Structure 1
Amino acid sequence: MTNGIIFDMDGLLVDSEKVYYQANRMAAHTMGFELTADDQHAILGTTDQYMRQYFETKLGSTDKMTQFIALSYAKVEEVVQNDGVAIKPGLVELLDYCDDQGIDRVIASSNFRNMVDDFMQSTGLRTRFDRIVTGDEVTHSKPNPEIFLKALDQLALPAARALVLEDSPNGVLAASRANIPVIMIPDMVAPTAITNQQTLATVANLAEVIPFLKK
């Protein structure tokens, strides 16, 4: 029986991964290098610190990394202001079901607290979540399980009675390492054979999680 759900945010609650990818590509183009799909996949679900380390290695310079990150964040604001950001399909149905059934919930996002708050406010989701754990509050990024263990503490539940919802392989692996059941709702990265072994299921949208909660 599931009494609490731990939600990732980027690519799971809101369609933000595409925003980041577009912003990162625009920043990379400005600086004259190519940002590949493999680069984007490598940083999905990780913290700002991990992303900085990744691009410092890729660009071979702390200064270039700092310039790229600053440009990327500026481009994110530009993209969101111009195009907005959508919530993911099936989310409202799932949250309504949780309300009806008294299923607790918490967000566990590797993003900054201010970014999470901004996305929650701009999409109208802030009132649907009382508790949030962010990348600012952990030492290790996904696939380390630290953020999910902190979220589990917020729920005050044993791992077997909680459920993680994730869109990325890094997040799925982190949940698996925390011994918390996990369902994957893929966004920009398709599940692999290994990912499939780590999940209860892979579903197309958040509403399709509801039948698993009824079991």
Structure 2
Amino acid sequence: MAMKKYKISLVIFDMDGLMFDTERIGVLGWHEAAKSFGIEIKQEFLRDMTGLNVKSIEKVFKKYYGNDLPFYDIRDLRVKYVLDYIEKNGMPVKPGLFELLDYLDHRGIMKAVATSTERKRTEKYLTLAGIRERFDAIVCGDEVERGKPEPDIFLEAARRTGKRPEECIVLEDSANGIKAASRAKMFPVLIPDMRRPDEVEELVYRELKSLHEVINLLESLKEEVVL
């Protein structure tokens, strides 16, 4: 059987927990917002909702807390907590992000963001970090019909940049993101954040410790051949 050499021409970035250390702040935000409504946030809820868009998070919330609690009121308080923290302390950028973006520019590899976060907040985060204009495409959770773990958001990023799925590496920290990248027939690269999602280990192409290591991976893929 002939060997095929894959040329990586697009790197797709998740945002929260991958580029920015915002998942930790978000967890604190959920706890603080829930207190205002007299409930306690469960670890199972935090686990199941990671990487999902707003509509999907609402379904998970109602699964654990029923239909009586005002999900969007609680979520709005959580969002305010996160934004207030960032306004006060600055955007917590993950180590290696700027170096990786510079490397991709040097190599001429395109860059896209595919995040479950809605467009308005995504734009704000990227702007505060000073990297809004560095991406060739930005696809947000409120712009696709089906969120992660379905592949729609990654396929849309590939479509907007004119790339085939087999040319794309996806950088993700969540189980839902890895599932979506795998279903998109892309190369899912796991960089764990707060919790290592063991349940998707068989779907991961590579697991790395930080964004710094992505550069070495891409260097190795210059010559890599696969069946």
Same fold per superposition (TM over 0.5)? yes
**2:119 and 2:140 in contact (8 A); partners too:** yes
* Distance in 2 between residues matched to 1:195 and 1:60, nearest whole Å: 28
**1:59 and 1:65 in contact (8 A); partners too:** no
Is 1:90 equivalent to 2:96 in the alignment? Answer: yes
Q: Call closer, same or farther: CA 1:197–1:20 in 2, change over 3 Å.
A: same
The equivalent residue for 2:169 is 163
Q: Call closer, same or farther: CA 1:63–1:31 in 2, change over 3 Å.
A: closer
Of 10, 28, 44 in structure 2, the residue corresponding to residue 4 of structure 1 is 10
Kindly state the Cα deviation for residue 7 of structure 1 after the two structures are TM-superposed: 0.8
Is 1:209 equivalent to 2:214 in the alignment? Answer: yes
Deviates more, 1:165-174 or 1:54-63: 54-63
RMSD of Structure 2 on Structure 1 (CA): 1.4
Superposed CA deviations along residues 80-106 of structure 1, whole A, max 9, x for unmatched, are: 223332111111111111011000011
Superposed CA deviations along residues 146-168 of structure 1, whole A, max 9, x for unmatched, are: 11111111221222211111011
Q: Call closer, same or farther: CA 1:158–1:166 in 2, change over 3 Å.
A: same
Q: Which TM-score applies when normalising by structure 2?
A: 0.89
Q: Identical aligned pairs, as a percentage? A: 35
Point out where structure 2 has 5 or more consecutive residues left out of the alignment.
Answer: 1-6, 222-227
The equivalent residue for 1:138 is 144
The equivalent residue for 2:159 is 153
* Distance in 2 between residues matched to 1:158 and 1:57, nearest whole Å: 37
Is 1:198 equivalent to 2:203 in the alignment? Answer: yes
Is 1:70 equivalent to 2:85 in the alignment? Answer: no
Please give the secondary structure, in 1, of the residue aligned with 2:70: helix
* Distance in 1 between residues matched to 2:200 and 2:32, nearest whole Å: 30
Kindly state the Cα deviation for residue 78 of structure 1 after the two structures are TM-superposed: 2.3
Structure whose alpha-carbon radius of gyration is higher: 2
Q: Which TM-score applies when normalising by structure 1?
A: 0.94
Please give the secondary structure, in 1, of the residue aligned with 2:147: coil
The equivalent residue for 1:57 is 63
Is 1:22 equivalent to 2:28 in the alignment? Answer: yes
Give the aligned residue type for 1:188: M
* Distance in 2 between residues matched to 1:112 and 1:93, nearest whole Å: 26
Moved over 6 A (4+): none
Of 117, 124, 127 in structure 2, the residue corresponding to residue 121 of structure 1 is 127
Of 104, 108, 128 in structure 1, the residue corresponding to residue 110 of structure 2 is 104
Superposed CA deviations along residues 69-88 of structure 1, whole A, max 9, x for unmatched, are: 22222222222223332111
* Distance in 2 between residues matched to 1:127 and 1:137, nearest whole Å: 19
Deviates more, 1:78-87 or 1:158-167: 78-87
Kindly state the Cα deviation for residue 65 of structure 1 after the two structures are TM-superposed: 1.9
The structure whose residues are more often helix, as a share, is: 1
Superposed CA deviations along residues 92-143 of structure 1, whole A, max 9, x for unmatched, are: 1111110110000110011110110000011111122131000111111110
* Distance in 2 between residues matched to 1:157 and 1:74, nearest whole Å: 36
Give the aligned residue type for 1:183: V
Please give the secondary structure, in 2, of the residue aligned with 1:31: coil
Kindly state the Cα deviation for residue 64 of structure 1 after the two structures are TM-superposed: 2.7
> How is 1:176-191 mapped onto 2 (pairs within 5 angstroms)?
176-191=182-197
Point out where structure 1 has 5 or more consecutive residues left out of the alignment.
Answer: none
Give the aligned residue type for 1:166: E
**2:13 and 2:112 in contact (8 A); partners too:** yes
Kindly state the Cα deviation for residue 63 of structure 1 after the two structures are TM-superposed: 4.5
* Distance in 1 between residues matched to 2:68 and 2:184, nearest whole Å: 33
